[in-house]
Structure 1
Amino acid sequence: MVFVKHDHETRVRAIVMAKLGWDEDLIVDALGVSKDSVRRWVDRHDWTGGMFELDYSNCGSRQKLAAVLRELDDLRKEDPTLYLDEYINWVVLTRGILVSSSTMSATLERLGLRLKQLRKQASQRNEPLHALWWADVTRMYAANQLVFIDECGVNNGNLERKRGRGLPGERVVVSTPYAPLGDRFSAIAAMTIDGYEALRLVQESVDGDVFYDFVEHEVLPAMNPFPMAKSVLVLDNASVHKPDELRELVEDHGMLVLSKVESAHGLHQTVGNDPL
């Protein structure tokens, strides 16, 4: 066993934090000490009637935290999913201010921050390009011609944070890569302005074969030849949406396939074999 000698200030700080009601795990993370050391120092302090003269002058207050409000907001903007104890650890480690959970919570509320449901978007998403693409789509097609297909899924291994802090009226969004974990359950749906045209649930990830079968047997029977209503199939850039066989299947039925592409200015190149 390795014994580490901690200085007087660290011991006092650990006892003060324990007296303020900090969780042992937070004290350990903030000061780099062991749980046994914290318990031993607190027990010795209580048994001796105060082996250390505890200094609470560096304990957090709303007035002291007011000096770091902008930095706390910068932390929130960098990562809105931070837990309350992570804000507390940052204040302890970077500013040396001991602060309770209730004080930190009140400080974040003072910034106007509230816990909200987290909204995720693909890290690959390009908002300006998407806007250009959508402007072209709405200019070239009527709304009732479009049939949108996409899939979503969940898995029992997901441990991602579900909530984050944001200002009133502000969506809390984080960029996250796609990383499936555990057993996956997926839903594929085709939707028009009139609602769902087809829906399939599968206990697996959606691969090219599953997607092709869904389009062939459930989506195409609900569509019409171009340029009638429900005659343009809109897909995103997922790899399972790109096989040439899928495009040929749709075009053989007299419909068009519209895919999101790298350049919105090349939209006409993505629609069947006929330039628009």
Structure 2
Amino acid sequence: MVNRRISSDIKEHALDLWNAGWSSEDICYIFHVSPRSLYRWRAIFEEFGTVTKPPSHLRGCERLVSLAVLNAAKAIFFHDASVMLDELQWYLAIHHDLAISISALQATLVRAGLTRKMLRKIAVERDEVSREDYDGCVRDPDTFSGTGMEFVAVDESSKDERTLARHYGRSPIGLPAEYVHEFIRHDRYTLTAAMSTQGYIATRIVEGSMDAYEFFDFIVEDVIPEMKPYPDAQSVLVLDNCRIHHTDLLQEVLNENGKL
């Protein structure tokens, strides 16, 4: 049987009829209640003077996070989904005079629907026109820059004060956690080398990426002078499958110099 809420008026009328001499069976039949309920109402009335028991004075801890504080936290994650709990903890302590632990803050955010998930990073500098130009450059083997090993020289002063890259953030359930970030391209260098079983025979370092023209100049000016005619040692040049390595002009130059 499902519990139903009985109003205080019905309880008072039932007790009045009982005090007037009505039998408990008739009262229970009229109001569709059990005899145990009738005896419990009379005990409560005799103790407190009312048919409804007053609320207990023993209560749990007062809720720390008010609606205003929760709305402020949601606004923070709306503008920056990558905010960490310790940063939010300091913000609430300074601006809302709220001292709350990390665990309690985590539980509060989960109950509010702000779940932790992978960040979707969006570049501020993203330009669709430039991206189309880059795609066209990648498809052209004569201008594609992508050979050798590329290293990045990072300026320590340009690092994020928190971390270089945050992987997780918070957002409402059902919505992605997006993080708009300024991606700064630092100084980049490409290291290209030709080596034999005896060690390196030629190397070149260029700023940025090496294109087909730079690679052609590297082979002609640095590598070929260190090679010998076939079948002597260092007479065969082996290249990988990078598209800028295999050009008709480079093959003609190698054949003219007796290199395979």
Which of 1 and 2 has greater Rg?
Answer: 2
Q: Shorter-chain TM-score: what band?
A: 0.3 to 0.5
Give the TM-score normalised by structure 1.
0.36
Give the TM-score normalised by structure 2.
0.38
